Chains A and B, each alone.
Chain A
């Protein structure tokens, strides 16, 4: 029964969501001390469990209903008594989740809800009840557009085919596609902008041109508005991470025998969905680190004159230019001397002036005294830094021995994905925006021609100036015998770019949309690949401006002098 299957799927989704919320509420209860806060949390908790129980019953999943019922009873008991015996309840939540997953698998494997043993009594009743309508078997319409012409659609303009929704579900893939289209529109807008500027320069008094200019400005503004909103569509509240973080603190705290008080602020802070994973990974590492390494045992804390319960605080906030996540603990802090000594033992010598980030985030450095190599704890911080920098963010550390440690992660507000062609030229890898690439072809010795000291390439009836990527960016010019040529277009001009190899298409993350000051012509920025390599992103507009162009008369014209590039390229300094 098609519709019942859909309903069953909805049920599982709904149950999982509610269970996740219930778990978060449970863990929040651990920290809640004021009666009104506890009461509110308990009320919410009861609702979620009650709804899971009711829905499970309605769908015929009796074992789930029973288990949810028991959990509900346990919460009631908690509300009555004063003692916080949360352990069995948290285990109960785990059990319920496992059962839920089991049932979901059973249903999926069973093919349809009708075959799954747990659901069959209800399924049978459903099929009977639903099948007794006048719709012939062959014409069963897909849910929720059940009201087709066959059935005699309900009359009335305000009867929706499905329950009225205040929102629409959109897949992240659709959003990404929108973002890509927008990125292309930006390129076209820039082209248009340039053309208009040129036209305005040569036709200063033309009112039509002015009109075009004004309209373009308005269009550009609207485009910016659309971009903003689409980017914001990808924002989700940070809160969705917090459940698992609380879990980590709770579990590790139990395992290490430490008492930790975990305060979280800023759950409503929005974060780009594409960054959620990075944030989850980074925060998970840092939080785990803090509980295991940062905070001392209750005895040690008492000896140090600190309260036995350690405090771990996570504060998330939205700033104008970025998103900030701060993890602070009041533990033993980082003993700089110990870290330097440990590094020395591994053969790494740091200068006195080295920053805390440099020493802590270096792979292989660990302050764990006992042999804990298998857990790779020292590598964790480096992984965090890499992951954060890869999306254009930064991690900073501040610490005071004996007082505590503070990690500050800054992430960009939005993330643009740019589809690029990765090419290798002169041993270096570059990323070329795919949107500007018209064609890539193999290049042989016979393909290049020299016309008045400029290399050109014949392409589809055109003669294109050729730019050798390797020599454009500092290497000795070597007449290329073979390789690849990419025909690019920017500002209506076409050029050929020479490279040794084409590695493939890669989506790279571009940090925001701000211009990078001081980059040499032909480069628009840098990015970090998944393997940690920093590579340069080519700028088609800049490249086109660099290469010689053939004038209308047919004679090559001397190109403008490329600007001096003495500013070091950011991201290329070796750590």
Chain B
């Protein structure tokens, strides 16, 4: 596993899925990575403001109260977050939003339902293509 992350922000409205991500990211947590939890786009923006050193955002594209897309557009306006890696979690039927998200600066996407290993592999690929910029420990 190549990506070495210190902070991952999960923006997702389902409580159940947050707990799922806890399990999915156990391997990173065991290496000292923190998980931050936001339940809607607005909370996501707040958390990012307080933790600008987040390495990865897992973003649910389909949320009420500031959707995933709104969060992304808002965040990518800031110079500080141009390099922030965002992975969109999409569902069938939301392809348009996903495309717009990628255009707005998301680095990758996964469609629900997905296997934990799918997410791990995607993360590895995304960080590898950044040519080791994030491989150095912060």
Which A residues fall within an 8 A CB radius of B? 3-4, 7, 10-11, 14, 47, 50-51, 54-55, 57-58, 60, 65, 122, 125-126, 128-130, 132-135, 143-144, 146-147, 151-152, 154-156, 158-160, 162-164
Q: Which residues of chain A have C-beta atoms less than 8 A from B133's C-beta?
A: none
Expressed in whole angstroms, the Cα–Cα distance for A146 and B91 within the complex equals: 29
- Interface contact B29-A54, CB-CB below 8 Å: no
- Interface contact B17-A159, CB-CB below 8 Å: no
B82 to chain A, nearest CB (A): 24
- Interface contact B30-A129, CB-CB below 8 Å: no
- Interface contact A154-B29, CB-CB below 8 Å: yes
Q: Which residues of chain A have C-beta atoms less than 8 A from B34's C-beta?
A: 154-156, 159
Q: Which of A10, A57, A146 contacts B113 (CB 8 A)?
A: A57
**Which chain B residue lies CB-closest to A15?**
B16
A83 to chain B, nearest CB (A): 24
Q: Which of A125, A151, A156 contacts B30 (CB 8 A)?
A: A151
Q: Which residues of chain B have C-beta atoms less than 8 A from A135's C-beta?
A: 26, 30
B88 to chain A, nearest CB (A): 14
Q: Which of A4, A144, A152 contacts B31 (CB 8 A)?
A: A152
Known: A125-B115, A154-B33. A130 touches B26 (CB 8 A): yes
Q: Which residues of chain B have C-beta atoms less than 8 A from A162's C-beta?
A: 19, 22
Q: Which of B19, B32, B120 contacts A129 (CB 8 A)?
A: B120
Expressed in whole angstroms, the Cα–Cα distance for A65 and B111 within the complex equals: 14
7 tightest A-B CB contacts, nearest first:
A57-B113, A129-B116, A163-B18, A133-B27, A159-B34, A154-B34, A125-B115
Expressed in whole angstroms, the Cα–Cα distance for A122 and B113 within the complex equals: 10
A-B contact count (CB 8 A): 97
Interface assignment of B87: CB less than 8 Å from any CB of chain A: no
Q: Which residues of chain A have C-beta atoms less than 8 A from B17's C-beta?
A: 55, 58
**Which chain B residue lies CB-closest to A1?**
B23
Q: Which of A3, A55, A147, A160 contacts B29 (CB 8 A)?
A: A147
- Interface contact B14-A55, CB-CB below 8 Å: yes
- Interface contact B23-A130, CB-CB below 8 Å: yes
B114 to chain A, nearest CB (A): 8
**Which chain A residue lies CB-closest to B117?**
A129
Q: Which residues of chain A have C-beta atoms less than 8 A from B120's C-beta?
A: 129
- Interface contact A146-B29, CB-CB below 8 Å: yes
- Interface contact A152-B30, CB-CB below 8 Å: yes
A305 to chain B, nearest CB (A): 47
**Which chain B residue lies CB-closest to A7?**
B19
**Which chain A residue lies CB-closest to B24?**
A129
Q: Which residues of chain B have C-beta atoms less than 8 A from A14's C-beta?
A: 14-16
**Which chain B residue lies CB-closest to A132?**
B27
Task: List 14 A-B pairs, Cβ < 8 Å.
Answer: A4-B23, A7-B16, A7-B20, A7-B23, A14-B15, A51-B14, A54-B113, A129-B120, A135-B26, A144-B22, A146-B29, A152-B32, A156-B34, A160-B37
- Interface contact A55-B117, CB-CB below 8 Å: no
Q: Which residues of chain A have C-beta atoms less than 8 A from B33's C-beta?
A: 154
Expressed in whole angstroms, the Cα–Cα distance for A566 and B125 within the complex equals: 89
Q: Which residues of chain A have C-beta atoms less than 8 A from B37's C-beta?
A: 160, 163-164
Expressed in whole angstroms, the Cα–Cα distance for A196 and B41 within the complex equals: 58
- Interface contact B113-A58, CB-CB below 8 Å: yes
- Interface contact B24-A146, CB-CB below 8 Å: no
- Interface contact B19-A128, CB-CB below 8 Å: no
Q: Which residues of chain A have C-beta atoms less than 8 A from B30's C-beta?
A: 133-135, 151-152
Q: Which residues of chain A have C-beta atoms less than 8 A from B67's C-beta?
A: none
Q: Which of A58, A65, A163 contacts B22 (CB 8 A)?
A: A163
Q: Which of B29-84 contact A (CB under 8 A)?
A: 29-37, 62, 64
Q: A129-B117, A135-B26 are in contact. List 13 more A-B contacts (CB 8 A).
A: A47-B64, A54-B14, A54-B112, A55-B17, A65-B113, A129-B27, A133-B27, A134-B27, A144-B19, A146-B22, A146-B29, A151-B29, A155-B32
Expressed in whole angstroms, the Cα–Cα distance for A442 and B117 within the complex equals: 71
**Which chain A residue lies CB-closest to B120?**
A129
Expressed in whole angstroms, the Cα–Cα distance for A11 and B20 within the complex equals: 10
Q: Which residues of chain B have C-beta atoms less than 8 A from A47's C-beta?
A: 64
B12 to chain A, nearest CB (A): 9
A119 to chain B, nearest CB (A): 12
- Interface contact A130-B29, CB-CB below 8 Å: no
Expressed in whole angstroms, the Cα–Cα distance for A133 and B32 within the complex equals: 12
- Interface contact A10-B16, CB-CB below 8 Å: yes
**Which chain B residue lies CB-closest to A159?**
B34
Expressed in whole angstroms, the Cα–Cα distance for A234 and B78 within the complex equals: 46
- Interface contact B19-A125, CB-CB below 8 Å: no
**Which chain A residue lies CB-closest to B15?**
A163
A44 to chain B, nearest CB (A): 10
Expressed in whole angstroms, the Cα–Cα distance for A129 and B28 within the complex equals: 11
Q: Which residues of chain B have C-beta atoms less than 8 A from A3's C-beta?
A: 23
B4 to chain A, nearest CB (A): 13
**Which chain A residue lies CB-closest to B47?**
A158
Q: Which residues of chain B have C-beta atoms less than 8 A from A10's C-beta?
A: 16, 19
Expressed in whole angstroms, the Cα–Cα distance for A469 and B117 within the complex equals: 75
Q: Which residues of chain A have C-beta atoms less than 8 A from B35's C-beta?
A: 154, 159
Expressed in whole angstroms, the Cα–Cα distance for A462 and B112 within the complex equals: 76
- Interface contact B112-A58, CB-CB below 8 Å: yes
Q: Which residues of chain A have C-beta atoms less than 8 A from B20's C-beta?
A: 7, 58
Expressed in whole angstroms, the Cα–Cα distance for A342 and B117 within the complex equals: 73
Q: Which residues of chain A have C-beta atoms less than 8 A from B114's C-beta?
A: 58
Q: Which residues of chain A have C-beta atoms less than 8 A from B19's C-beta?
A: 7, 10, 143-144, 162-163
Q: Which residues of chain A have C-beta atoms less than 8 A from B116's C-beta?
A: 125-126, 129-130
**Which chain B residue lies CB-closest to A3?**
B23
Q: Which residues of chain B have C-beta atoms less than 8 A from A51's C-beta?
A: 14
- Interface contact A146-B26, CB-CB below 8 Å: yes
A59 to chain B, nearest CB (A): 8
Expressed in whole angstroms, the Cα–Cα distance for A315 and B120 within the complex equals: 53
Expressed in whole angstroms, the Cα–Cα distance for A3 and B26 within the complex equals: 11
**Which chain A residue lies CB-closest to B29?**
A154
Q: Which of A11, A128, A155 contacts B117 (CB 8 A)?
A: A128
**Which chain A residue lies CB-closest to B31?**
A152
- Interface contact B32-A57, CB-CB below 8 Å: no
Q: Which residues of chain A have C-beta atoms less than 8 A from B62's C-beta?
A: 50
